[in-house]
Homo-oligomer: A and B are copies of this chain.
């Protein structure tokens, strides 16, 4: 019996209509659908595709607890073993990935554990970077802009030196790092250009000025978008 094939499926930033045609086709043709769940058992990824799960697939919720004390490695090992069992028995498996699977995704922890044993394919998805820019109604980058993506967990010094060399940037995975990032943006003079956004393209989406943000209520999946300055000056040469 030939082994199954593993698909990392980019399902986009949150709006179910932002799935690609390819992701929808593979999702509905695949007998096993795996997705990450929170410690409370919720799955944002499953919620996004819920209306498309009309073929009653086998579902594999995967929990990846992490903390300062405990590595998530054992939970990746366990999830990879469950998927390997399905694949070995000839069943194709899709792993639902918010945004894009290869762009800051947890899919790569499964990918690195399974790619040598099974055929794998990644279907790229709409990133939340682009989802956020569309919601803001603001062009992100232009012509010869240097664009950077900076995870908020980086040290303040690292963030400041990189931001000083960027024409446009997005700071991702804010969570508890919001106060540090706010201070950095103040120091480098970027506060006025920065937009806060959480759950872009989802029903619970919020866009706030940085001053309006309650630092105690900032989720991990939130970001600060600093668009290129150019768009404010349409007189500049194209």
Question: Footprint of B on A, CB under 8 Å?
Answer: 10, 12-13, 15-22, 24-25, 66, 71-73, 76, 100-105, 107-109, 111-113, 115, 120-127, 129-131, 133-134, 137-151, 153-154, 158, 161-162, 165-166, 201, 231, 234, 237-238
- A19 to B17, Cβ gap below 8 A? no
Contact A149 B144 (CB under 8 A): no
Q: Are B120 and A102 in contact (CB under 8 A)?
A: no
A142 touches B21 (CB 8 A): no
Shortest CB distance A160–B (Å): 12
Q: Is the CB of B134 within 8 A of A124?
A: yes
| Cβ contact within 8 Å between B162 and A153 | no
Once the chains are docked, how many angstroms separate the CA of A122 from the CA of B133?
A: 9
Which listed residue (B19, B134, B237, B238) contacts A21, Cβ 8 A? B19
Contact B133 A102 (CB under 8 A): yes
From A104, A153, A161, residue with most partner B Cβ within 10 Å = A104
Closest to A131 in B: B124
**6 CB < 8 A contacts A-B:** A17-B20, A103-B133, A111-B139, A115-B137, A124-B130, A143-B151
Asked whether B158 lies within 8 Å of A231 as measured between CB atoms, the reply is: no
- How many Å lie between the Cα of A104 and that of B130 in the bound state? 11
Given A21-B18, A111-B139, A139-B102, A153 contacting B146 (CB threshold 8 A)? no
Across the two chains, which residue of chain B brings its CB closest to A152? Answer: B144
Q: Given the interface contacts A18-B124, A19-B20, A73-B238, does A130 sit within 8 Å of B102 by beta carbon?
A: yes
